[in-house]
Structures are given as C-alpha cells and as structure tokens.
Amino acid sequence: MSALNAGDLLRVAQAASVQFRTPILFRVIRELNWTTYDGWCWLDGYQLDTKGQAVARRSIFVRRAGITLLRPAPRPTPAPRPAPARRPTPQVSTVRASR
C-alpha cells in the first residue's frame, strides 16, 4: 500500500491489529512519522460511525497490510483563475456641430 493521505477512508479490522476484532471505519488525519516495527505504522485520525460521522479522535498502531483503503481522499482541484479585468471602452462623442 502506498502512503496514506489526509482524508483517506480506511477499514481497520483484526488483520491490522488484534484490538480491532470488530472492524472500524477510520478517516486519516496523518500518518505519524514514528519509529515502528517493519510493516507497522501509527495513524492519527477519526473513528467514524456507520453514518460517516466522527465519534472519536484516535491514534492507532496497525499493520499496513491489514488495512483496507475504502475511498481515497478527494484531490483538490485548482480554483479557476478569474478573467483579467477589462477596461471600459472609451465612449466617442457623436455630437455633431450645428451649421
């Protein structure tokens, strides 16, 4: 599995760690850069309920091979650039001189 990004939605089950006998949904805030055993990592994020609402903020220690990426975080799209401001066209007077 490649690097995890903020916003990734994961399913964390017993294959990730014995504490997750009952699987949980987990929204990643960040992958912590802490020294761990090979193949394991610390994740900081939110445990979600079945409706996708955060119920607890947690830091979890899991085997990378045991987590399932359900939905990657949406990638930001650049905002459209505004059109350059246009100067008003100068109005030419069409008044005719009387003879």
Of 66 and 96, more confident: 66
Q: Please report which confidence band the pLDDT of residue 1 belongs to, taking 50, 70 and 90 as the band edges.
A: low
| pTM score over 0.75 | no
Give pLDDT tens digits for 26-43.
999 999 988 888 999 999
pLDDT at 61: 95
58 CB-near residues (< 8 Å, 6+ apart) = 26, 44, 45, 46, 47
Give pLDDT tens digits for 49-93.
999 999 999 999 999 999 999 988 877 777 788 877 777 777 776
Domain ranges for the chain, please list them: 9-71
